[in-house]
Amino acid sequence: MGDFSYKDIYIKDGRRVLEVNILPEKYCNFDCIFCPIGRSQNKVDTQKSFDEMDSSLRELESMIENTKAELVFINSKGEALVNDKIGHIIDLIKGKGLPVRLLSNGYLLGRNEYLEIANRCDEVIGEIKTITEEDFQKVQRPIEEYTLDEYISNMIAFNKQYKGKFILEVTIIKGYNDTEESIKKIKNIIKEISPDQIITERMNDERFKKKLGISDERFEEISNALLNI
């Protein structure tokens, strides 16, 4: 048994999607207060080696074959780019003739070593959750010296040269980015990053829903405003 974990295969947009987590435990460069995985004991932005990689790669190969997957979605317990074998993982999937979708919070996409890895994926998802420097520090608790400006510029720089499909996931959080003024700011950020697709999300986790969740009505209103720009 390897160290990767999988979701049951599902169909999305007519394709059989195999979703894989490639981290043995949480490794992230952020420590968001609402992280569904829990606190970041390993707050890192450099690559790490993990054990059992050979058996994990073999297992991934047979999962692809047995599930007849048509797309592999790398969605990990944190920032998948910090697994030092991510390049091998992408090559293995591509070698099987399948497209790769990668979820990243987006901060590392501006750094050359990570940009080159992400460029090999057919689809990359980046994220926006807070829109002021103060909230970014307070709520997403990134590695020291990270700034919101750099976060956004990293995604802008990445998407300027990226040939694949860049998807921006915007999470609406009550009290942080759900006012009219915030929506205007998010629209400007979207224009600057210029993604191929926008996905809107909100706090769905029961633990955070009460404090940070927004109503169905407001979510629909904001989603319509963001999806139609």
Toward ligand SF4, which CB reaches closer, 64 or 189?
A: 189
- Measured from the CB atom, the residue of 75 and 223 that comes closer to ligand SF4 is 75
178 binds ligand SF4 per the rule CB under 6 A? no
Contact status, residue 136 vs residue 151, Cβ threshold 8 Å: yes
According to CB under 6 A, which one of 18, 32, 131, 186 is a site residue for ligand SF4? 32
Whether the Cβ atoms of residue 159 and residue 128 lie closer than 8 Å to each other: no
Q: Where in 96-135 is the site for ligand SF4 (CB under 6 A)?
A: 105
How many residues in the shown chain lie near ligand SF4 by CB under 6 A?
9
Strands (E) in the chain, as ranges, are 5-6, 10-12, 15-21, 71-74, 100-103, 123-128, 165-172, 197-202
Q: Candidates 2, 23, 40, 73: give the one binding ligand SF4 (CB under 6 A).
A: 40
- Shortest Cβ 163–ligand SF4 spacing (Å): 25
In the Cβ-directed half-sphere of 139, how many Cα atoms lie within 13 Å? 19
Residues between 55 and 94 with contacts to ligand SF4, criterion CB under 6 A: 78
Task: Choose between 64 and 101: whose C-beta lies nearer to ligand SF4.
Answer: 101
**Closest separation in Å from C-beta 171 to ligand SF4:** 9
Long-range contacts of range 143-150, CB-CB < 8 Å, 24 or more positions apart?
143/29, 143/30, 143/43, 143/44, 143/45, 146/29, 146/107, 150/107, 150/110
Task: Provide the minimum distance between the beta carbon of 27 and ligand SF4 in the complex, in angstroms, as a whole number.
Answer: 9
Structure tokens at 121: 């994926």
Residues of this chain that interact with ligand SF4 (CB under 6 A) are 28, 30-32, 35, 37, 40, 78, 105
